[in-house]
Structure formats: structure tokens, C-alpha cells
Structure 1
Amino acid sequence: MSDGRWFGVTQLSLFGPKEEGPEPKPVSDQAVELQLLITVKAAPNPSERYGETVCVAGLSVDWQRRGWIRLYPINFRELASDDKFRKYDLVTVAAKPARQDQRRESFRPMMDTMVVQRFLPPWKDRRGLLDPYVEDSMCRRYRAARDDPNAQSLALVRPRSVDGLDVEAHPGWTPAEQRKIDAYIQQPDLFSGHDRTALLPPRFRAFYRYRCHDTGCGGHCQGVLDWELVSFQCRLADRSSDELRRAITAKFLEELCGPGRDVAFYVGNQAKRAHVFSVLGVYWPPRASVPRPRRR
């Protein structure tokens, strides 16, 4: 990079995860500069203040602070267009430790400080950073979270088998979520003068069923909280429900989790229910080809 702050991707791959897990949060409440590869944009949630908030996660590419980072809350709706970022962007952002969240990976970002450095194209450079962090046991993450609510709350888990994708009608917002939406749209917008629009739930939600490599794994069923599942449904809003359901299955099961992919799931738990994990996104580089044996 021209500013000299980024290591080369190949060099970064030498710094894998620490055995002791996520770094403790800084003692001070002063903002720290984070250098991240954005890997997850979760689906938006209703917010009384912002209309909708988004949780973003990424991998620190600062060799002095290795591991996963969670940024929340982000008011993605009102970001200026030039400041919007994509998955697999390398960014810098100032953030403060999230004191109301016991999870060590959680920070409150100062979005006016975010700078997108560059986009990391698929897949070689991404694999150089992310493959050292791939784990083989979701069961281990569950056991750790049950034993300690402060245990690692973000991970990248490669399943032994992906057994299916359950797609069902979204039940709509809960009463508590709807109250937040109602409170948001009733607030006067003193700056733009525009009417506030309510966040609508997607038509469908989905759940991955898979087995990890843990001995005796009985299988996992985790809800998909991926922004891409919501945006995919928005792009196909003109489809019938049956057509949309089939399209979701084709995209998120048959394509992303197809036999030619080294599939892994970005997973994260909830602050108030540390034992509940969801799929936040899919990591789906092409499966490395196996060289054919030479003929004698």
C-alpha cells in the first residue's frame, strides 16, 4: 500500500490465530485504530434510533492484534454512498471497546473514520488470510460458550457435511421489534425533511443443517443472518413465493455449498445468549484440485 501500513497478504498469512483465543479489550475507553478485512455483513435489525442497524465482522490484519473483530452498531442505511463498504474490503476504522457487550471481539465503530483501502479479489489472497483461521468443530465452540460467556464468539467453521437448507416463511417482526420501527418512523427528520421508511422483514428466513468434524457430532441447525440472504430476496422481489424459495435453495445450498467448494461458515453468537450461534455468512472458495497421478 502507498501509506505503508499494510503488510502483504502472503506475509499476513504467517500470523495465524492465537491459541489463547481473542485478544482482551483495551483497558482504556479511548478509540483504537483497527485494520480489518471485512468478512461479514449481518442482516439489518430494527432500531428505534436508526431505523435499522447492521453488525459487521472482520479479521484483524494488524499482526499486533490478531483475530476476529465485531463492529456494532452500524447505521448502514444512512452511510454516505462513498463510505459504503463491501465484504472483503480492507479497511481502517477507529473504534471503542463495547463495554455493554462482554464478548471480547466487540467494538463500537466511529464510522466517520472508516477508510476503505482496497478490495481483496477472490480467492488466493483471501485464502492466504482466512484459511489459517478455519476450524473443524462447531461442537467445540458450543462447549466453550456454555462454560464461559466470554469465550470466543466468532469463528470460521468448515463442516464435514452440509445436509440441507431449510427455507421457511419469515414470521414478521416481534412486538418489541415492531415498536422500535414505529418509534423510528414517528420521529421527525429535522435535517433531510424526508419521510422515514419502515424496515420490512424479508419473505423468507433460512437455516443451514450440517455436521462438523467433532467426534460424535449430532448435527447443527443454525439460522442464516447474512445480509446477502436479504439482499438476494430484494433483487428477486417480483418472483412468486415458490420461485423465490427455489432460487434461495439454488444459490445458498447448491451453488455456495456445492461439491466444488471448500465451504466454511462464518458463525457468531448472541451477546445475551452466548450459547446460541448463527451462520453470518458463507466462505466458499473453489476446492483445491487434486493432481492426477502420473501414468507409468
Structure 2
Amino acid sequence: MAQMSLFGSSEAGPGPKPADDRTVRLQLLITVKAAPNPSEKYGETVCVAGLRTDVLRPTWVRLYPINFRHLDSDEAFKKYDIISVDAKPARQDQRRESWKPIMDRIQKERHLDGWRSRQPLLDPAVEDSMCRLNRDAQERADAQSLALVRPKEVRGLKVTPHPGWTADEQRKIEAYASQPDLFSGRSRSPLQAPRFKAAYHYRCHERGCNGHKQHVIDWELVALQRRLVGYSDAALQEALEAKFLGEMCAANREVAFYVGNQAKRVHVFSVLGVYWPKR
């Protein structure tokens, strides 16, 4: 059953960022771990997002940049962990949800295991209208940039070959990989592009919705391809469709998409992850 958004359309998302750059301690339920992107400075950076749980009115928070490959094991965290982290407002990013984490001040609190433990926090945040998010982003650069949207109809998942890194991305990878690791002295392994990319086609609950096509940048899409490295292209494509469409979007699942836009192209939203508890 579709639910009303936690946020009214006129006050969607968090309030403005603090005016100063003082460090703020945030407590978050981690819901999103996006696929890694090449970075000359950090090697591979990922965007992590979640729902803030230490405030009266829970709001979405984006943490960037995070280099997961070089996190110490004690600091590493996964989806649906509740963490505490010191962070500062991201000043080069106009999106209100964006914060820059202080990596050595991340503390895992606990893990929410199973959908029943997660739903009381996440179900109230579900929204019905992707169309509304698109309209707001086109009107204001600092409009709500993260959300959890329940589709009315998932029309399909299109899996296509990944084109590989662009020339600029490859330059960043080579520049980072050529530098020895300061701690081990070993060469850094370059970030490999996945074999396939994917995009969901769906309609939201807004009357007159013409449909949405959004690329999937979920870490799990890349991780599954790495686990199935020995599969043929045809078998791998079938496995991706089976997982992200057949299983996650099955009729017995109350599916919703974690969506987020781009800092440089705020009108472009992607699927950052899938929320798929049983009905």
C-alpha cells in the first residue's frame, strides 16, 4: 500500500546547512552505498547515504567522499548499520543533504538485521512521487536530493554492456595507481570497470506520470558482478536481471527505490539502492 511522504512538498528534505564549519556529530542509519567512482586523490570514492536518527524529524544525509578500499577493518561499515560520525557541511556541494565525513571519527553503533527491524525507521520516509522530486530539482538547485520512492509499477530492468571508463576517469585511475601506498609501500591496484550497467524503468504514483528511467549505481550491482566473474556475458546478464528485477521487485515485495541526484546535474536522479521488504 502506498504511503504519504514524511515530508510535505513545500518543506521536503532537511533544512539549510549550518552557517559555520564547526564539526557536527551525526547518527545515521546507512541505507545507500553507491558504486565506486575513479578519483585521482582518493583512488575510488563512494557516496554513502542514510537517514539521520538522532533528531526529532529524521532527514536524509549524504557522506562524501569515502574510500572504502582503504578503511581499516574496525572502521568499515555496511548497509543498515547505525553509525556515528563527525562531519562538516560540504561547502562545494549546494545540496542540503551533503556532508564531508571525518574518516577517523566513524563509530559503528549496531546493525539492524532483517527488514522488520528497519521498517519502523524507513517506512515513514517512503514517498510516492518521483515526478515531484524532478520538478523541485529543476526549480531549485538545493531542492531535496535524496529520497525513498515507492513505484506504482516497475516496467523493467535494462542491462547493457558498460562502456568502460572515460579518458578522464582512466587518467585519474592511472595517476592514483602509480603512487605507492604510504602505509604498505605496495603499488595500488587500479579500479576495474564493471562488465554491465543497468537502468530501471518505472512509473511513480503521481497521476499522469509518463514513467522514469534511472540508472542503477548501487554498489551491490558491481559486487554481484565481481562475485560472478567466471560467468559468461549472457549468464551474468541473466543473473543481474534475476536478482534486481525477479527477486527484489517480486510481487511479494513492497519495493521502493533509494534515489539521489548529481551535484553538477541536479535534474538527473539515479537509483542508489533498493528497499524490498516482504509485503
What is the CA RMSD across the aligned residues, in angstroms? Answer: 1.1
The one of 32, 51, 66 aligned to 1:40: 32
Measured against aligned partners, the alpha-carbon deviations of 1:10-57 in whole angstroms (never above 9, x if no partner) come to xxxxxx547622121111101100010000000000010121001000
The one of 254, 268, 273 aligned to 1:276: 268
Residue ranges of structure 2 left out of the alignment (5+ in a row): 1-5
| Residue in 2 that maps onto 1:293 | none
TM-score normalised to the size of structure 2?
Answer: 0.95
Q: CA deviation at 1:64?
A: 4.3
**Cα distance between partner residues in 2 of 1:53 and 1:165:** 26
| Residue in 1 that maps onto 2:248 | 256
| Residue in 2 that maps onto 1:137 | 129
**Cα distance between partner residues in 1 of 2:194 and 2:126:** 30
Contact between 1:23 and 1:65, CA under 8 Å: does it hold in 2?
A: no
Contact between 1:160 and 1:210, CA under 8 Å: does it hold in 2?
A: yes
TM-score normalised to the size of structure 1?
Answer: 0.90
Query: How high is the sequence identity, in percent, across the aligned residues?
Result: 64
Q: CA deviation at 1:202?
A: 0.3
Aligned partner of 2:60: which letter? W
Matched residue count: 272
| Residue in 2 that maps onto 1:125 | 117
Residue ranges of structure 1 left out of the alignment (5+ in a row): 1-15, 288-296
**Cα distance between partner residues in 2 of 1:263 and 1:191:** 43
| Residue in 1 that maps onto 2:83 | 91
Contact between 2:179 and 2:187, CA under 8 Å: does it hold in 1?
A: no
**Cα distance between partner residues in 1 of 2:126 and 2:183:** 45
| Residue in 1 that maps onto 2:48 | 56
The one of 203, 209, 213 aligned to 2:205: 213
**Cα distance between partner residues in 2 of 1:189 and 1:53:** 16
| DSSP 3-state at the match of 2:142 | coil
Measured against aligned partners, the alpha-carbon deviations of 1:59-78 in whole angstroms (never above 9, x if no partner) come to 00012463000000001110
Q: Which has the larger radius of gyration?
A: 1
- Structure 1 segments of 4+ aligned residues over 3 angstroms from their partners: 16-19
Aligned partner of 2:150: which letter? R
Aligned partner of 1:20: which letter? E
Aligned partner of 1:252: which letter? F
**Cα distance between partner residues in 2 of 1:83 and 1:228:** 20
**Cα distance between partner residues in 2 of 1:51 and 1:96:** 22
| Residue in 1 that maps onto 2:170 | 178
**Cα distance between partner residues in 2 of 1:221 and 1:65:** 30
Contact between 1:260 and 1:286, CA under 8 Å: does it hold in 2?
A: yes
| DSSP 3-state at the match of 2:93 | coil
| Residue in 2 that maps onto 1:104 | 96
Q: 1:20 and 2:11 equivalent?
A: yes
| DSSP 3-state at the match of 1:237 | coil
Contact between 1:44 and 1:227, CA under 8 Å: does it hold in 2?
A: yes
| Residue in 1 that maps onto 2:228 | 236
Measured against aligned partners, the alpha-carbon deviations of 1:166-190 in whole angstroms (never above 9, x if no partner) come to 0000000011111100110122333
**Cα distance between partner residues in 2 of 1:86 and 1:257:** 22
